[in-house]
Amino acid sequence: MLGAHILEPCSRGHAPTGSPRVGGLRGRITDLRLLCRGRTVGADNEGAVDRVSLRTDVVAPVPVTAVKGRGLYVVGMHRSGTSAVTGMLVGLGLQGPSVDDRLPPSPSNESGNNESATLTRFNNDVLLSLGGTWAAPPRLTGDWAAGPRVTGHRDEAARLVAAAFPHEYFVWKDPRTCLLLPFWKTVIGPPEAAVFVYRDALDVARSLQVRNEFPITHGLALWERYVRSASANLDGVPTFVTRFDDVLDDPTVVVRELTAFLQSVGYRVARHEDPAVLRLDQRLRHHRSSGSPVESEPISSSQQLILDVLDQRQGAHRSWSAPDLGTEPDWVEDVLALRRNFDRIRRERPLKDSLVARARSRLLGS
């Protein structure tokens, strides 16, 4: 699986069918209360509209700036082991964000996640401009990264990323880059290289259920949106692909292969010895599925296809060629749109309550 670098991967895929079945629900969630009982954590700005206005006549802008160092992106869905892999890369000598700018450890991530607090907040703001949140991302198609909703963010983005990573060799991890990488390409150009970490869809959904109280179907929809986006947006980027379970099962092998990959694309890295490997803790393996038919039932055919394709493409790629994963099933957007609608109602309610209270006060005052 990870023993050899994949330098000339083949493409495989077909249109997915079916949808997950959880608790008697198939595909689209019809109980809004079930979908919207979940909570978000961290800096979570929320969207204002459902869909992104797309322009097909825009020209991709020239990047605003180039950071001084060589940046490596760690890309992957939330709860997929990106924090652990980033810690491994820091152990190999790459620099994460400064301590002052680093998000603190949390009960759900006691070792810390090596994320820049300023860039995480900024990415949340960009998602807000596009009409979504990390927990309910919009469907981004066409030339959205060059459109008017995000162009106003580019100068601030260039300033923030340059301040966050002044190092020669740095690593940037934020799951939101799965979605927003096209925007960042307009700011600092394509990534020098990337590590694409993925995990079983049901494991991720269960982890989100525990941390955020998201229904399983919501977590599965998020996984599909993020992983599909990551694969498409990394096209052409030197990329190392790994499944998180393999990182935990044999970190020494993964460190050795990561070291070889980084050296092949021009990074200076430390020797792959204990300091990097020891950053991994088997307790990071939250909510692993047993693989039994019952536990595997919620996985849709499209999600199984994605896992199969990524499993076949593990290893190093001189230039990632996005595989054909078929079309995203309609139920994914149905679920995420319901969440966006609920978020908008929740966001607007305090304003409405304030206006009603002000009007009542004026009436009583008169």
Residue 97 is encoded by which pair of tokens? Answer: 């964000």
Q: Is residue 267 part of a domain?
A: yes
Number of domains in the chain: 1
Q: Is residue 218 part of a domain?
A: yes
Angle of the 201-212 helix axis to the 301-312 helix axis, nearest 10: 110
Taking Cα atoms as reference points, which of 86, 366, 359, 335 lies closest to residue 222? 335
Q: Is residue 5 part of a domain?
A: no
Dist. CA 182–CA 264, nearest whole Å: 25
Q: Is residue 116 part of a domain?
A: yes
CA distances 4 to 313, 316, 336, Å, are 11, 8, 38
| pTM: predicted TM-score of the whole model, two decimal places | 0.80
What are 282's strand-pairing partners?
none
The CATH number that applies at residue 326 is: 3.40.50
Q: Is residue 13 part of a domain?
A: no
- Residue range 24-48: mean pLDDT, rounded: 48
Q: Which domain range does residue 214 map to?
A: 21-365
The 8-class DSSP code of residue 146 comes to G
- How big, in percent rounded to 5, are the helix, strand and coil portions of the chain? 45, 10, 45
pLDDT in tens, 185-221: 999 988 899 999 999 999 999 999 999 999 999 999 9
Say which amino acid occupies 146: A
Dist. CA 103–CA 120, nearest whole Å: 9
- The contacts of residue 4 (CB under 8 Å, 6+ apart) are 315
Dist. CA 228–CA 314, nearest whole Å: 16
Taking Cα atoms as reference points, which of 143, 122, 126, 325 lies closest to residue 229? 325
Q: Is residue 14 part of a domain?
A: no
The pLDDT, as a whole number, for residue 157 is: 95
Q: Is residue 204 part of a domain?
A: yes
pLDDT in tens, 220-230: 999 999 999 99
Least confident of 11-20, 164-173, 301-310: 11-20
Q: Is residue 207 part of a domain?
A: yes
